[in-house]
Structure 1
Amino acid sequence: MLHLHADRLIELGDSEPTNTELAHLGTCAECERERQAYRALRGLAVAEGAQLSAPLTSWDALSTALKEEGLIARKPSPVLILTPPAIRAASRPAPRRRQASDWALRAAAALFFLAGGVVLGRGVPADDEPRAAVAQAAPAPAVRTDAPVGLASNFSGSFTSNAEALAALYRAQREYERAATFLMTNNPVGDETQPDVYRARLAALDNVMQASMTALEDAPADPVLNRYYIAAAGARESTLRQLQTSLPPGSRIDSF
């Protein structure tokens, strides 16, 4: 018995056979079985394609997907707030080598955040004396003098455990975030609408993203490092939009 060609059976996976082909399929179990197999395969492909989302080629699409997965907050904040993970109970200690590695990664990530804040902050340039004088003449904000419990004492002495040092590091980070938020809102120095300000910020963000990618090569699943990379990518996309709006009409960004 002659059988239908394989290419034709594939076409019949999503099309209707002719009367002659239909009569053949009614008498040839082998051809009918292959046709049904192709139809089932096509159904799986269609179902799989329906589950695929649009390609994440922009920060807007990427941030929407990350918000749905709960990886980033739905409301933007001026600074990245890093919530410390729950400290494991002493009765279930991790292996010494793994525990030291985990502590080192998190400590390095926190220090990296502080360093990135210095790069992206609004510090006064050393050669800009007139602006520095204006900043010094402004009324100084109230400074919080009550350090977090245990923080001041730990700075002057040694820590008894990695968990204690990490907790102190997170407290210091929160103080840094409060200060950065205040400066972002109240610092009179600098003109945020100047394109050069956005270009300098983009260059700094590129350095932050490159450092994050280098760190993620050694620890690709580390949630802290991933959050830094995602936050830097979002800030970069936002800064690009701000730079575009600050340029004269008709101007285009040739780099970045």
Structure 2
Amino acid sequence: MSLIAITEVKKRFGDNEVLKGISIDVARGEVVAIIGKSGSGKSTLLRCINGLETIDQGSIVVAGAQFLPDEVHLKALRLKVGMIFQQFNLFPHLTAGGNVMLSQMVVKKTPKEDAEAVARKMLDRVGLAHKFDALPDELSGGQQQRVAIARALAMQPIALLCDEITSALDPELVAEVLAVVKELAAEGMTLVMVTHEMRFARDVCSRVVFMHQGRVHEIGAPEDVFANPRTPELRQFLGVQ
């Protein structure tokens, strides 16, 4: 039984068909890396899974519930599926703790003291318990992204979508964010990640999806996809002859 079932999903923006019939199943506890060139539809696919974009055709089923584009369903979907973006999107005037508390209080109507307890726990989980009262501009990019991860985890999602969460970071900060993701994977969190970090995809992910021009071109275990790319497009993308 798939936790996330994506079937023949199509999405267009005007005349541009960005997703041309995508089908992927993600099992509970699986870590799926989505790789491919810019413009291949990777981020659009994540945004469709989370309901930030509506689909034109096909279906997305999350935890057995068909995703329908009305507010009630969207809200329920976003509670189940957390999303972490390339830009950290933290509120600059709120502390790290305040950022992690806010969505719990607004979306889930969690009482303030409960939200604070969860925020402290989640910041501890990403190694930032000591930064509860720090403002975003007092944190490094890597720390800000870890706060964003804590904020997503505070909503207790059944899956996390990560959209190039290390690409805005300096190289030396990438490792600390990926270490947190690796830990989540080890704990059994279902993760779907758009990433440029090929080594991470190879070492941590259970499956790799290569997208090209709005289609799933290749899909398989990392060792197969990286060692035996079957299509010229994937060989070119990986830089192998």
TM class by shorter chain equals under 0.3
Higher strand proportion: 2
Query: Computing the radius of gyration over CA atoms, which structure comes out larger, 1 or 2?
Result: 1
Flag the structure with more relative contact order, 1 or 2, with Cα contacts below 8 A and sequence separation at least 6.
2
TM-score by length of 1: 0.22
TM-score by length of 2: 0.23
